[in-house]
Structures are given as structure tokens and as C-alpha cells.
Amino acid sequence: MDDPLMRVWEPDEVAVMEALRDWAVGFAELNHHLAAWVRLPTSDARALAQIVWAAQAGAPLSPTALAQRIGMSTGATTVLLHRLQKAELVSRSRENGDRRRVTLRPTPTALAQSRAFMQAAGAEIGDTLRHSSTADLRTATALLGALNEAVTQGIHRLRARHGGHEPGDDGTLSADPEG
């Protein structure tokens, strides 16, 4: 494997990395606006958005799947879900044959707030995707999938190097790999 810092990057590679950075910054700002819109901490709003998105797509999440999507431990996600339930934005139910499986659903209030936010902030994203060709969407999905896999490999290497510990917000390593 070559040294990514020392190799010469092609202009198109640099352009992709810069576009990804810009998307990440913009997406993070949208999440902050969503949090203000629904009057929640940013992590709670981000979780609520995932719950709404999955339910609207017909594939509601379990608490464990939500934890994986938002990069939090299952314990922290449980606390977060309690806050969302207390705010009457999320309900938990046991809908399928396996009564042990909990399904997360947005409440009508959460759907109304999410819909209003998306009308104010998400129209251009939706239009851009809707007007992209199938080939462009598949190419973008393939590239992002490969980049996500590369990130995952790097994270696994770093966790192995640090005994499964993850960095905290202050840059120190947590003794608990769950956060």
C-alpha cells in the first residue's frame, strides 16, 4: 500500500475528495439546522432523521440498526431513544412474528416536523437525485461504497492498533470500546 500523503494525487482524485469534504460540511450544517428546527440536540435530530427516512422507505429500524447508522453504542442509543420517546417523536413497537424485535417508528408529530424541514431545506437535494441518470447514480453509489469500505478498513486497523479503544471528543482513547 502506498503512502497516501506522499503520493501525487491526480486532479480528479483531489476534486472528488474536496467534493466529499464539502458535502460532509454541508450535511453536518443541515443536521444542525434540523436540530434547531425540531428543538433537539444534534445527535438526537440525526437519529430522528434516520428513523424517519427508514420508516418512509418501508424498512423501519431496530435500535441496534439505528446505533450502527449513527455510530453510537447501543447503550447511548437507548438513552437517546428514551429522550425521543419522551418528546413524543418516536414510538417503539413489536410488529413482526419475532416479538423480541423492536421496531422504531416516527410519530405523526415527527413526520410533520420532518416534512416541513425537508420542504424548506431538502428540495434541491431531492431534485438533484431525481434528475440524475441511473448510470450516474449507480456510479456514485459504487464509488461511495468503495470509499466507505476503505474508511471501515482504516477504522478497523486503528481500533486493532489501540486495543479496540476509540478516540473521545478530546482526542484521548476511551477505555470502553463502546464509547
Our count of domains for the chain comes to 2
47 and 105, same structural domain? yes
Q: Cβ distance 108 to 64 under 8 Å?
A: no
- pLDDT of 60-113, one tens digit each? 999 999 999 999 999 999 999 999 999 999 999 887 776 678 999 999 999 999
pLDDT digits (tens, 9 = 90+) for 119-138: 999 999 999 999 999 999 99
Q: Which residue has the cell 418501508?
A: 58
Q: Is residue 19 part of a domain?
A: yes
Is residue 1 one of the residues assigned to a domain?
Answer: no
pLDDT of the residue at 167: 67
User: Within this chain, do residues 120 and 137 fall inside the same structural domain, yes or no?
Assistant: no
Q: Judging by beta carbons within 10 Å of its beta carbon (0-12, 13-18, 19+), is residue 105 exposed, middle or buried?
A: middle
pLDDT given for residue 170 in this prediction: 57
Q: Structural domain of residue 68, as residue ranges? A: 11-131
The pLDDT score that the predictor gives to residue 21 is 97
Residues 165 and 99 in one domain: no
Scan for cell 444542525, then name that residue: 32
Query: Would you state the cell numbers that stand for residue 5, as one nine-digit string?
Result: 500523503
Residues 125 and 98 in one domain: yes
Whether residue 155 lies inside any domain: the answer is yes
- Tell me the C-alpha to C-alpha distance, in Å, between residue 177 and each of 12, 121, 133: 37, 36, 41
Q: Which residues contact 116 (CB under 8 A, 6 or more apart)?
A: 37
138 and 175 both lie in a single domain: yes
Q: Note whether 168 and 177 are within 8 A (CB).
A: no
| 38 shares its domain with 112 | yes
